[in-house]
Amino acid sequence: MESKFTIDKLNDLLSGERWLIHQDGYRSEENRVYETNFTLANGYLGTRGLLEEGARNEYPGNFIAGVFDEADGMSKSIVNTPNWLGLRLYIVNHPLTPDACQVVGSKRTLDMQKSVLFRQLTIKDEEGRETLIEGYRFLSRSDVHRAAIKWYVTPLNYDGLLMLESILDGSVVNDRDTPRLRVKLFRIVENVDLGKRVCYLEAATKTQDTRIGVGAITRVRDGAGEDIVKFSRLAAFGERRMAYSEFDVAQGQTVEIEKLVVTYTSRDVAKPDVKKAVVENLDQFAAEGVAAELNRHVNVYRRLWRMADVQVAGDERADKALRFSIFQLMNVANENDPTVNVGAKGLHGDFYKGQTFWDTEIYLLPFFAYTWPAVARNLVMYRYLMLDGARKNAAENGYQGAMYPWNSADTGEEESARWALDIRSGELTPWYPEREVHIVAAVAYGVHEYCRITQDTDFLLNYGAEILFETARFWASRLEYDAAHDRYEITNVIGPDEFHLHVDNNFYTNYLAGWNMRRALELAEMMEQEYPSFYAEVAAKIDLGDSELESWQEIQQKIVYPGGTTGLIEQFEGYFDLEDHVIEEYDEHNVPIWPEEVEPSEYRQTQLIKQPDVVMVQLLLPNEFDEETKRIDYEYYERRTMQLSSLSSSASALAGLRLGYDSRAYQAFLRAAEVDLADNLGNAELGVHIAAAGGTWQVAILGFAGMGVDQVGELRFEPRLPEHWDSLTFQVVWRGSLLDVRVEKDEVEVEVSSRPPLALAEGLPVGSASIGKMPFGFNASDSKAG
Amino acid sequence: MESKFTIDKLNDLLSGERWLIHQDGYRSEENRVYETNFTLANGYLGTRGLLEEGARNEYPGNFIAGVFDEADGMSKSIVNTPNWLGLRLYIVNHPLTPDACQVVGSKRTLDMQKSVLFRQLTIKDEEGRETLIEGYRFLSRSDVHRAAIKWYVTPLNYDGLLMLESILDGSVVNDRDTPRLRVKLFRIVENVDLGKRVCYLEAATKTQDTRIGVGAITRVRDGAGEDIVKFSRLAAFGERRMAYSEFDVAQGQTVEIEKLVVTYTSRDVAKPDVKKAVVENLDQFAAEGVAAELNRHVNVYRRLWRMADVQVAGDERADKALRFSIFQLMNVANENDPTVNVGAKGLHGDFYKGQTFWDTEIYLLPFFAYTWPAVARNLVMYRYLMLDGARKNAAENGYQGAMYPWNSADTGEEESARWALDIRSGELTPWYPEREVHIVAAVAYGVHEYCRITQDTDFLLNYGAEILFETARFWASRLEYDAAHDRYEITNVIGPDEFHLHVDNNFYTNYLAGWNMRRALELAEMMEQEYPSFYAEVAAKIDLGDSELESWQEIQQKIVYPGGTTGLIEQFEGYFDLEDHVIEEYDEHNVPIWPEEVEPSEYRQTQLIKQPDVVMVQLLLPNEFDEETKRIDYEYYERRTMQLSSLSSSASALAGLRLGYDSRAYQAFLRAAEVDLADNLGNAELGVHIAAAGGTWQVAILGFAGMGVDQVGELRFEPRLPEHWDSLTFQVVWRGSLLDVRVEKDEVEVEVSSRPPLALAEGLPVGSASIGKMPFGFNASDSKAG
């Protein structure tokens, strides 16, 4: 689809086609999915892609990273904050909305290069009056507190009076469409007119009293920049505030409307200063104008893309889907604030309550470690800042060390609901977050991967070590001694495969627990030798002595793997005794079709799985298993994996690729890449599948380009490009340098820039320059289990 | 359409077809009109006919008589109070609403005999699960604070879990769809869970701090009356409160849902006692049950209909439309509270802000005076209670006496906006309520008519006299002396015909002013002779002496009628000099078609009129004009009246009928009777045309049945039934008795009951028994102008 605007300025702004995602026409039943896909986010604030004028089945969502709260006994959630988007025109009381008018033409275009959402709407009211609305909106990444909407409005066949209402809407709730869970997380404490057409709404979250202040100025001007408002009014309607304006328009004459918005919270400034911060910034913003801010914003994205863009030659569809995944990853990441992490639905929806899962370490971290180390460091630093919560969580569950929670918000304590709603039956089933204990190893794995890739010795010594030791200590206390067999086991857990909710000695959990302890032991030894003062400090802080290390050594050696660690490995104790059903059919997207003979209510009694735990271990720790074992396990579990998680497609693809299953990998890659764009799981409306986005990048770079760090810490490429791809071009930040990589079927070109783009290195430790040589084991890939 | 329910109880409840108004099928674009027509009201509270589960283009409206307030500089309005209707089912999070599901079948039936709104809905969700919802709701007239919804819910083809949310919604506003005027008139001051599943919301109006408390209990039971709720939750979402329940259902098994609601305001009880009043009544209501209350409610309506029903034999359409008009009149009337009046849109919408106009006296009062004198007395007593406001209004405008306001709310002061929004241009035009001064004479006319019909001497002597004297005094000060011609004139007014906004010596205004003064003079003379102590008291109270009475005598004799008072009378000075255009064409409903040669912007420069002022005077005071004059004026003005007001159809019909224009009258009658049912002016969605309803009754009874009071104070009938009507049967309360009247083409039968039904006589003065003989002039019809 060609994007062509009447307003020349808009055509000048728009990037080339490879940067654009289009919505052509208007079908209200598609609103929710486009709201997710057209969400704009700048790491600080995410705003779903609603129409400014409102639509009947919209789901308003404005999420500020780190603003969590809880009420009504529901578990803690990212707060759905007041919706600042509202902007609606009326021709003398006839609202110009798709619900009330005829949509003559509608296009929306997401410009990923600039992170700007463009639109063009020709709308006809009952009396045949046609109005063209063109414009854009953006959430600035130059000043994350700022956002703006710009509209160019042209009456096509009439003269008359237009009315404009600009709304700040505090009536939003969380989980609106699920009355069982619906919750309002804030009260409106101020709803005022500050003069000079400044509307201000301040919300206070119910439990923590976090303040969210949002201010807006709405202006209407003619082509010459003159204010044309002839009547205006500001008013409050309960939790809403409206700025209303009237102005005359003439056929063919374009008027410009802009809404400037500023948001601050009491996480940014002291509580009493929130309003002041909003007003001062808004004044300044109004003085500078929208164009100046847009320019700065676009420049930030230009630098981000210089580091992270991936181009696929020969496959436009894959090229765009991959870019869309990267765009979402950049948008949910916060480069400035280590106290926030990434929620399972990004800043794009309130499903999963904005909480952080193992997705961060397993699916997101590699992308950031290789392209935007500042963000990667924040993501692992977040876990360090949550250590006390994790320690408390361990103590509450009767363990030692740090038991990272399955659902993490702003304290490191477990935020998971104790029950889950089964959508099929509507029944509440108890949920046991403490059984998904493999998250603890995932945090350790994340620290290890981050340090291995970035060589950030500063982080490892000052923060990472403490995490590794405390997680190892947790495992030592969690492992249960089986005296009869002189072995350690872990009973009653849920592995990544959530089809089986109560299993003993899950291979994934047990293996990663051992791995976690081995890495901690290695690190302790290394630090004692190479960085004794750092070691002394952390050991003293957490009271870690030699006898405890010795006990870890013994315990990890005696961990039981019921099905062994080579050949066909059993997912958990007794798995092979379950009814065996094999996937025989796949749909047109190569998605498994549920075997007919298995009743939906009985799948937990079969070997069918949601995700392949054994394959996952081998994917995360490829050097710990031989090729033959990996092939056997992949072949076995792939035929039993229902791929019902957005996480499984990319893992499956990556594992397959490494074993040479190219064509299956491409389909799985595309499925992951398009999970939201094509809504191929049917739930894109709930928010972006951000882990799938990270997985998509991994399949492309770690799979098709075959990039990896070898045993001596060098980058290696083993290209396995899909047959129809001509080349794959991308960038990697590596050891303080930016590498431009171009991979073709049988050639890899790497060009080295002396330093990465300025914005990314500013104030951020990249590489090992500050401290020196990285400790052994963090330089190369993993060593084999003992 | 046949109404046949699955639930036998519902069929038993339903009245015969002549009492029923049906909506068959569901088309969302019709929602607004049905919301008006299916509004239930009990004189105290009016609730628009929304679907309980909500629909996308609904306009929530809950209006409590007398609860007015103002904010944001808007003029005073009846307050749109929290919406208590919300009741929505979900099958495991899938809302069963027409917007989200397929409507397999939908019927709604308004039972006018019982004032109950029935419904039947078969709704199918995306997964093909069909649910049958049947039930009803009512606003009790036995205890006007109580309302209830009852649903019978049957899963037709599934077993499973149902979720129910029951909402009290305080997020409503006034004038929601007009952002220029939209206003929120209250704050929510309490939104609490009172235990035992009692939800409570208390609103405080913004300026007067009137409290509105609404409480609700929602129950779910099986057929045996057992509570089947397995999980429930009460929660607040900003201005909303929700009661949530979950329960299991089985295919073919019906569950019963009921929502019991109680409303009190600080107009009913002291401010601190509002919550207590709600809770106590709600507790009692819950103990008594819905069926008992329904039974009492239906009994009240049975007695009301015993007095007011009209039956047309031979014309089912007219029969039903007439009954619908009467039903609305009964519903907007308050028999208990003389501090409230009837708004121009009833309790059915917030258009015209719930304010009272001359409609009450001219269009509504005759119906009540002849069928329900207690209400009629309240309506005129309201004007007495507003006397101080009217005096203040006079003083503020530089006059004496009582200047009743064009728009009246709760003080008697002028509530009209000083500007009006022209819907065509969107421009605000100044408005001059003080020019529509004819309202003052309408109030006097109402008092006179009420006393003449009911012979309520008590009211006349104690209250009515003061109104008549103070209005006469107003006119004496308002009339301007033209020394050059030794005459009195009234310049710069707007007559009933609002096409001409600034005229001098409007015939309607001048004539009624004189009439008002003559009635006052007559009454003063009468009271001095017959009731000297009453006269002395009122004269002393308002400082009325003989010299003032003499000056009134002189002034009224010198009032100018520029076009004379016989033959072709000129509507106002200079009217005949305006461009003359005559209506040549009528549409299929006999509604005038705008003459092509008249530009819409220029109609004020022509003789085209909205309503015929001269004909109106002759209609109100038929004995003051000779037949020839009336015929000439009717013929002239009828061809220039655009019938653009819902008030004009009935006036035109009645005037025509009295002159023998039978066929035209029937069409005008039907137009007025169906103005809402058939939405023939296209604005029924805004609320009921209550004046048209009153006019409809007048055409039927005063026109077709030709009922009137003759010169000696006897009821007379001069039937002029439409050709195809077999008979017209109705009741009249006359001199303390109930008359059953049956009018046929050339026969009138009257049967006299010794006393009217109990409810109507309770504590209400009907007839003159208490004081004695009515003063002369109030016994018979009007005497001729001097």
| Segment A360-379, tens digit of pLDDT | 999 999 999 999 999 999 99
* A180 to B161: CB separation less than 8 angstroms, yes or no: no
Q: Which residues of A are less than 8 Å from B92 in CB distance?
A: 423-426
β pairing state of A255-265 and A211-221? antiparallel
Q: Which residues of B are less than 8 Å from A165 in CB distance?
A: 179
Pick from A93, A182, A235: which is nearest to B178 by CB? A93
Helices then strands, counting H and E runs in chain B, come out as 21, 28
The residues, ordered by sequence, that sit 6+ positions from B598 with a Cβ below 8 Å of its Cβ are B581, B606, B608
Distance in angstroms (rounded) separating the CA atoms of residues A416 and A393: 12
* B246 to A92: CB separation less than 8 angstroms, yes or no: no
Residue B539 corresponds to which amino acid?
A
Contact B442, B450 (CB under 8 A): no
Distance in angstroms (rounded) separating the CA atoms of residues A327 and A333: 10
Pick from A56, A238, A427: which is nearest to B171 by CB? A238
**Over 80: is that where the pLDDT of B776 sits?**
no
Confidence category of residue A767, pLDDT binned at 50, 70, 90? very low
Contact A400, A475 (CB under 8 A): no
| pLDDT in the model for residue A769 | 31
Q: Which residues of A are less than 8 Å from B181 in CB distance?
A: none
Residue B490 corresponds to which amino acid?
I
Pick from B90, B179, B244: which is nearest to A165 by CB? B179
Contact B456, B772 (CB under 8 A): no
Q: Which residues of B are less than 8 Å from A93 in CB distance?
A: 177-180, 423, 426
Distance in angstroms (rounded) separating the CA atoms of residues A404 and A383: 8
* B239 to A237: CB separation less than 8 angstroms, yes or no: no
**Chain A residue whose CA is closest to B88:** A179
* B34 membership: H or E segment, kind and range: helix B31-37
Confidence category of residue B597, pLDDT binned at 50, 70, 90? confident
* B179 to A244: CB separation less than 8 angstroms, yes or no: yes
Pick from B180, B235, B426: which is nearest to A160 by CB? B426
Q: Which of A124-128, A748-752, B385-389 is least confident? A: A748-752
Contact A110, A117 (CB under 8 A): yes
Task: Give the residue numbers of B marked as catalytic.
Answer: 498
Query: Taking an 8 Å Cβ-Cβ cutoff, which residues of chain A contact chain B?
Result: 56-57, 72, 88, 90-93, 95, 99, 160-161, 163, 165, 170-171, 173, 177-180, 182-184, 187-188, 231, 233, 235-239, 242, 244, 246, 423-428
| pLDDT in the model for residue A781 | 38
- Name the DSSP class of B486: T
Residue bearing tokens 């025109």:
A89
User: What is the least distance, in Å, from the CA of A703 to any CA of chain B?
Assistant: 40
| pLDDT in the model for residue B425 | 61
Query: Taking an 8 Å Cβ-Cβ cutoff, which residues of chain B contact chain A?
Result: 56-57, 72, 88, 90-93, 95, 99, 160-161, 163, 165, 170-171, 173, 177-180, 182-184, 187-188, 231, 233, 235-239, 242, 244, 246, 423-428
* A179 to B72: CB separation less than 8 angstroms, yes or no: no
**Over 80: is that where the pLDDT of A63 sits?**
yes
Distances (CA, A) of B23 to B1, B89, B111, B327, B673: 9, 22, 12, 17, 18
Q: Indicate if A584 belongs to the active site.
A: no
**Chain B residue whose CA is closest to A245:** B180
Q: Which residues of B are less than 8 Å from A160 in CB distance?
A: 425-426
**Over 70: is that where the pLDDT of A331 sits?**
yes
Q: Which of A772-781, B311-320, B346-355, B428-437 is least confident? A: A772-781
| pLDDT in the model for residue A602 | 85
CA A157, A163, A168, A170 torsion: positive or negative? Answer: negative
Mean pLDDT of chain A: 92
Distance in angstroms (rounded) separating the CA atoms of residues B511 and B497: 15
Distances (CA, A) of B730 to A509, B86, B307, B701: 86, 39, 8, 8
* CB count in 10 Å sphere of residue B36: 26
**Over 60: is that where the pLDDT of B784 sits?**
no
Task: Express each pLDDT in A700-710 by its tens digit.
Answer: 999 999 998 87
Task: Express each pLDDT in B612-648 by its tens digit.
Answer: 999 999 999 999 999 999 999 999 999 999 887 777 8
Distance in angstroms (rounded) separating the CA atoms of residues B709 and B717: 9
Distances (CA, A) of A427 to A430, A678, B33, B141, B158: 10, 30, 40, 42, 16
Furthest CA-CA distance within chain A: 90
The torsion angles phi and psi of B547, rounded to 5 degrees, stand at -65, -35
* A426 to B56: CB separation less than 8 angstroms, yes or no: no
Residue A532 corresponds to which amino acid?
P
Task: For residue A406, give both structure tokens.
Answer: 């399955």
* B235 to A183: CB separation less than 8 angstroms, yes or no: yes
User: What is the least distance, in Å, from the CA of A144 to any CA of chain B?
Assistant: 28
Task: For residue B644, give both structure tokens.
Answer: 């653009």
* B164 membership: H or E segment, kind and range: strand B160-169
Task: For residue A126, give both structure tokens.
Answer: 């009952």
User: What is the least distance, in Å, from the CA of B669 to any CA of chain A?
Assistant: 31
Between these two residues, A769 and A560, which has the higher pLDDT value?
A: A560
Exposure string of B289-319, with b = 16+ CB inside 10 Å and e = fewer, is ebeebbeebbebbeebbbbbbbebeebeebb
Distances (CA, A) of B627 to A378, A661, B624, B631: 96, 104, 10, 6
**Over 60: is that where the pLDDT of B84 sits?**
yes
- Name the DSSP class of A175: S
Confidence category of residue B680, pLDDT binned at 50, 70, 90? confident
Distances (CA, A) of B116 to A46, B112, B287: 48, 7, 21
**Chain A residue whose CA is closest to B71:** A235
**Over 80: is that where the pLDDT of B781 sits?**
no
User: What is the least distance, in Å, from the CA of B171 to any CA of chain A?
Assistant: 6
- Name the DSSP class of B19: G
The residues, ordered by sequence, that sit 6+ positions from A513 with a Cβ below 8 Å of its Cβ are A440, A441, A475, A478, A479, A490, A556, A559
* B161 to A246: CB separation less than 8 angstroms, yes or no: no
* B238 to A239: CB separation less than 8 angstroms, yes or no: yes
| pLDDT in the model for residue B154 | 98
**Over 70: is that where the pLDDT of A502 sits?**
yes
* CB count in 10 Å sphere of residue A491: 13
| pLDDT in the model for residue B737 | 85
Q: Which residues of A are less than 8 Å from B177 in CB distance?
A: 93, 95
| pLDDT in the model for residue A509 | 98
* CB count in 10 Å sphere of residue B522: 16
Q: Which residues of A are less than 8 Å from B72 in CB distance?
A: 233, 235
Mean pLDDT of chain B: 92
Contact A669, A640 (CB under 8 A): no
The catalytic position among A190, A498, A522, A525 is A498
Contact A213, A265 (CB under 8 A): yes
- Name the DSSP class of A462: I
ipTM: 0.89
Task: Express each pLDDT in B398-416 by its tens digit.
Answer: 999 999 999 999 999 999 8
**Chain B residue whose CA is closest to A55:** B56
Angle at B159 between CA B157 and CA B162, to 5 degrees: 110
* B426 to A57: CB separation less than 8 angstroms, yes or no: no
Within its chain, how far is the Cα of B309 from the centroid? 17
The torsion angles phi and psi of B257, rounded to 5 degrees, stand at -115, 135
Mutate: best of B59, B88, B96, B237, partner A, most A CBs <10 A? B237
Pick from A92, A239, A427: which is nearest to B423 by CB? A92
* B160 to A423: CB separation less than 8 angstroms, yes or no: no
Angle at A680 between CA A676 and CA A681, to 5 degrees: 90
Task: Express each pLDDT in B493-538 by its tens digit.
Answer: 999 998 998 999 999 999 999 999 999 999 999 999 999 999 999 9
Distance in angstroms (rounded) separating the CA atoms of residues B306 and B304: 5
Mean pLDDT, range B264-271, rounded to an integer: 98
Confidence category of residue B773, pLDDT binned at 50, 70, 90? very low
| pLDDT in the model for residue A244 | 96
* A163 to B173: CB separation less than 8 angstroms, yes or no: no
* A182 to B237: CB separation less than 8 angstroms, yes or no: yes
| pLDDT in the model for residue B661 | 82
Pick from A163, A237, A423: which is nearest to B180 by CB? A163
